[in-house]
Amino acid sequence: MKCYIQWWLITIVLSACNQPAQRKPIALHPENPHYFIYDGKPTILITSAEHYGAVLNLDFDYVKYLDALSKSELNLTRTFTGVYVEPVGAFEIERNTLAPAPQKFICPWARSKTPGYTNGGNKFDLTKWDEAYFTRLKDFMAEAERRNVMVELALFCPFYEDSQWNLSPMNEVNNVNGKGPKDRTHVYTVDKSNGLLEIHEALVRKIVSELKNYSNLIYEICNEPYWGGVTMDWQHHIASVIRDEEKDFSQQHLISQNIANDHLKIENPHPAVSVFNFHYAYPPIAVAQNYHFNKVIGDNETGFDGQADSTYRREGWSFILAGGALYNNLDYSFTADHEDGSFQYPNTQPGGGTPALRKQLSFLRKFIDGFDYLKMKPDSTLIPGDQNKRAYVLSEPGKQYAIYIFGKGPHVFELTVPAGNYTVEFMDPLTGTYAAKQNVASDNKLKLTSPAYPEDLAVKITSAD
């Protein structure tokens, strides 16, 4: 018996040693809350990622997908929970990951024994959980965490058209509970949802409980709540439910709110919201309008403006150099049979996404990580006049300057900076290559001429004193 007890204790100790230390959840950086902190390091999230079906689409191999993101040195993905699903052909997206094949859709709610779900199989029971779904969700989170990929989990999404509402488990024709309003624009309200509010609350509490220990998680209340009748009081209610469920957690997760397409001045934000996200936010006026909140500003969806890599490279660089801390392009080269991002989509696709673009966005991430950006702020004065319409600058005056300019060069600069010695580096965002360093002196004016470049230019200036 003594030997058995000793072996049992040794097994427990060895098992504990093999467990990785639990990391703190990604958070706002305490020194500069316009940025994140993760694993003790300042963090900006940049990616070109799949169309949100990684978990709910059983045909999608998310391990292969996350390997592709990690290989591209990108650190974010966004995914939907499964309360919203799309029909094949929605938004002209070919092989849409949010449009699983019949019998390949999985969501938090369990199937009942009653046939009749619109897209095949049995109806859903909104009072019971599908444990296979939560096993898949948690494995997805764990695989992402191992690769230092953050997950923005969009809990809900409005129904833009009847075609999406017809597939939702919350539609009373698809569940056995008699829940759900006749009007899809009443789903996300506190008083017109025909019993769905309590379903929403229970779902949020279940997900928050299940994902308690994952460090790589940001909760987004609702994708594009400015469509489909989503009310602000409902959004605030969901934020409060998240916080209430986490009130006894040692570490709470960030909550993000999707504010608007393009830009909008935020008014009366919920105190629990720490990340304000915009879609299609170029030019990045959204950052300037809301910088005073001292929270992260993100551009967490773009990708409906043609297929050229330059469009989305430009938007990413502009947004981050304007003071944003999160950028996500919709990458349609990720599909359920091309999880490595190699799908050759047709020219009818609304957006793009390529291995080349992902590489270019990794250059952005490396460039910005080369600064002590916690000490920098957006600077609209360094490059005045007409140039400023296509130039974005982060600066710590006299110490460090990060500049991005879109437009063919060479370019001639005359910058007003404190007197001193500086090191200047020009980088081509298309290739990631740097020209030779220049050591220059300023007598309060810094005169520079860049090398020729085909599309855009990044400049790193640091004090040499």
In our burial notation (b when 16+ CB lie closer than 10 A, e otherwise), range 123-147 reads: bbbbeebbeebbebbeebbebbbeb
- Strand 445-449 and strand 412-416: pairing? antiparallel
Kindly report the average pLDDT of the chain as a whole number. Answer: 93
Residues above pLDDT 70, as percent of the chain: 94
Contact 378/323 with Cβ under 8 angstroms? yes
Q: pLDDT for 195-227, tens place per residue?
A: 999 999 999 999 999 999 999 999 999 999 999
Partner residues linked to 400 by β-bridges: 396, 462
Rounded to an integer, what distance in angstroms lies between the CA atom of residue 326 and that of residue 271? 20
Taking only the tens place, the pLDDT of each residue in 393-418 is: 999 999 999 999 998 889 888 899 99
Count of Cβ atoms closer than 10 Å to residue 178 Cβ: 9
Beta bridge partners of 438: 424
- What is the pLDDT, as a whole number, of residue 121? 96
What pLDDT band is residue 283 in, cutting at 50, 70 and 90?
confident
Encode pLDDT of 420-434 as tens digits: 999 999 999 999 999
Q: What is the mean pLDDT of residues 79-104?
A: 95
Contact 239, 219 (CB under 8 A): no
Query: What confidence tier does 81 reach under pLDDT thresholds 50, 70, 90?
Result: very high
Please compute the mean of the pLDDT values over residues 58-68 and round it to a whole number. 98
And the tokens for 428? 């081509």
- pLDDT tens, position by position, 30-49: 999 999 999 999 999 999 99
Q: Cα angle vertex 426, ends 420, 430, to 5°? A: 160
Return the H-helix or E-strand segment holding 235.
helix 232-245
What is the model's pLDDT at position 385? Answer: 57
Report how far residue 274's alpha carbon sits from residue 370's, in angstroms, rounded to the nearest whole number: 25
Q: What are phi and psi of 147, to 5 degrees?
A: -100, 10
Which pLDDT tens digit goes with each residue over 107-141?
999 999 999 999 999 999 999 999 999 999 999 99
Segment holding 365, helix H or strand E? helix 355-369
The rounded percent of the chain whose pLDDT value lies above 90 is 90
The pLDDT tens digits of the residues spanning 138-160 come to: 999 999 999 999 999 999 999 99
Q: What is the pTM of this model?
A: 0.94
Residues whose CB is less than 8 angstroms from the CB of residue 249 and which lie 6 or more positions away in sequence, other chains included = 212
Domains (range + CATH), the chain: 23-369 (3.20.20.80), 377-463 (2.60.40.1500)
Neighbouring residues of 101: CB distance < 8 A, sequence distance ≥ 6: 59
The secondary structure of 204-227 as a DSSP string is HHHHHHHTTT-SSEEEEEESSTTS
Q: Is the pLDDT of residue 16 over 50?
A: no
Q: Taking Cα atoms as reference points, which of 217, 89, 231, 106 lies closest to residue 163?
A: 89
Mean pLDDT of 271-291: 96
